Chain A
Amino acid sequence: MTQITKEQVERIADLVHLAVTDEEVAMYQEQLQSVINFANQLSELNTDDVKPTTHVLHEGNVLREDVPKQTITQEEALKNAPDQKDGYFKVPPILE
């Protein structure tokens, strides 16, 4: 049985870019544990020699000519941005 630890929840939250409080860590630990227990029933099924699904319908690759075209303008791209400057997206400092 996979046991989910507090440290694991904290590590996963960090990977997902979420800040979590101690109470949230406890809540997600419990919820993740119960969902994973639910998922563990999959191990009952023998799937040796079964290929994992990648596409449900085999349509094959969809290719097109590699011709550049303008889809949106710079102005449009910035229209919904929380912050911008001189035609760029603006973010807080990357280094402290």
Chain B
Amino acid sequence: MSLYGYTIKELENKLKKKEISAAELTEMSLDRIKECEEDVQAFITVDEEGARTQAAKLDELDESERQPLFAIPQAMKDNIVTKGIRTTAGSQILTNFNDPLYDATVVEKLQDAQSVMIGKANLDEFGMGSSTEKSSFHITRNPWNYDYVPGGSSGGSAAAVASGQVMFSLGSDTGGSIRQPAAFCGVVGMKPTYGLVSRYGLISLASSLDHVGPITQTVEDNARVLEVIAGNDSRDSTSANTQVPLYSEGLKEGIKGLKIAVPEEYLGEGVSEEVRESVLNALQMLELLGATWEKISVPHSTYAASAYYIISAAESSTSLARYDGVRFGARAKDAKTVEDMFKQSRSQGFGDEAKLRMMLGTFALSAGNVDTYFKKAQKVRTRIIEEFETIFSQYDLVIGPTTPRHAYKIGEIVDPVTSYANDILTIPSNLAGLPSISVPCGFTDEGLPLGLQIIGKHFDEQTVYQAAYAYEQATNHHKKRPVMGGQ
């Protein structure tokens, strides 16, 4: 038996019938890591001992005490703080951050739900990247083909699920960092509405754009994890005060009568033929299932990437100012003065991309530039938000591809602007805070997965999940598994 091909609900039944124990499920996850982790390298830290201890405790519990994610093995992106377990954000500046003082709210919630955390997943440094090549520890490989990137920045989280090492993982998404790796790795990734999931304990990259969300094999599993981690949190002042429905119970409502908008820009220039075809096929399927769709235009969204990189760089230059070698994190040795210590610690601790973005952000916020760049970008952001408001007054969902093309080869993209432009389809949802999911919608001729992006109204995760579920159940893409080492 392997973790592949089961849903959380099916494992729950097996656990109930005592066909498997929490300890056995944990061993399955750890065995799988031994089989393929040398190639995939999805993790920065594997907490074997912690996972085994937790599983043993769970096996002692009375059946009546079981919670929704009992014994389910999961991985946490390593920019989500875990008490007493090293949390690095993929950066050398936090390489010795071995003893975080508290658990992120999502970590607490997943613990209360009795899932078993197996380890901390790899990412581009502080989430700055789209390939996980910018982790300061090691690259992660795409389980479908080791020559390709898994996407990023939640590349470790997506690859760990796609290779059957864990049942689900959490990622974070500032400009597409859950959805893009989910698309590249053939799994389901959800970026919920801004504020639905607490960011307390998420190491911030750009606070107005950062989101936490689940990566899973199926839509149903995704809904089950989101309903556990969502909800108001007094420790995050941007947390929304809203009721969280049980998304997993409303999945089968169907999509009859739903009105879908398809931005022509999302299928235009720069989008590969294979991607376009897979999305048009998906739309045909959604039509068969009872929805209707129309092409629309989103002229402002084409400016989303430019606005995004200014805003996110400005915010990250602030977020990363706290790393100074004083209270935690790495400190350069032999500095003569405190000023010199700040500079040396930061220069040695941060990678090139982090440095570039801090400088860009500082430039965009500096006197003389703040109106031309930062404020201008925030005005364009307002325009993009209004554009979506108009669309959602007439339609229930916006659908397009998750990425303009399939995963690229390791080392293929080195130029920052080329990399930034590739995020054009996922960025608008971050700027507008809209719930957006990526579901598998086919494969290239070479066998690399493609993702369909479904975007909904604020706090309407339910309709997004219903459409994703209806589509998934009508297709077989999610049943295909990568052929890889150890199988």
Contact = CB atoms under 8 A, between A and B. Distances in A.
B341 A59 contact: no
A28 B359 contact: yes
Contacts of A12: 359, 362-363, 366
Contacts of A17: 324, 342-343, 346
Contacts of A34: 415-417
Interface string B344-387: 10110010100110111011101001001101111111110100
B17 interface: no
Q: Which of A31, A35, A59, A89 has most B Cβ within 10 Å? A: A35
A18 interface: yes
A56 interface: yes
A4 to B, nearest CB: 8
Interface stretch (B93-101, B114-122, B267-275, B476-484): B93-101
Given A55-B208, A81-B327, A83-B331, 10 more contacts: A16-B358, A32-B360, A34-B415, A38-B417, A52-B381, A56-B194, A59-B241, A62-B237, A80-B98, A94-B339
Interface of A: 2, 4, 8-9, 12-13, 15-20, 27-28, 31-32, 34-36, 38-45, 47, 50-57, 59, 62, 64, 72, 76-77, 79-83, 89, 91-96
20 contacts: A12-B366, A18-B347, A18-B358, A20-B347, A28-B356, A32-B356, A35-B309, A42-B307, A42-B376, A42-B380, A45-B303, A47-B376, A53-B382, A57-B433, A79-B101, A80-B328, A82-B329, A82-B330, A91-B326, A93-B337
Interface of B: 96-101, 193-195, 208, 234, 237-238, 240-241, 300, 303, 305-307, 309-310, 317, 324-331, 335-344, 346-347, 350, 352, 355-356, 358-360, 362-364, 366, 369, 372-373, 375-383, 385, 415-417, 420-421, 431-433, 458
4 closest A-B pairs (Cβ-Cβ)?
Answer: A52-B378, A82-B331, A80-B328, A56-B433
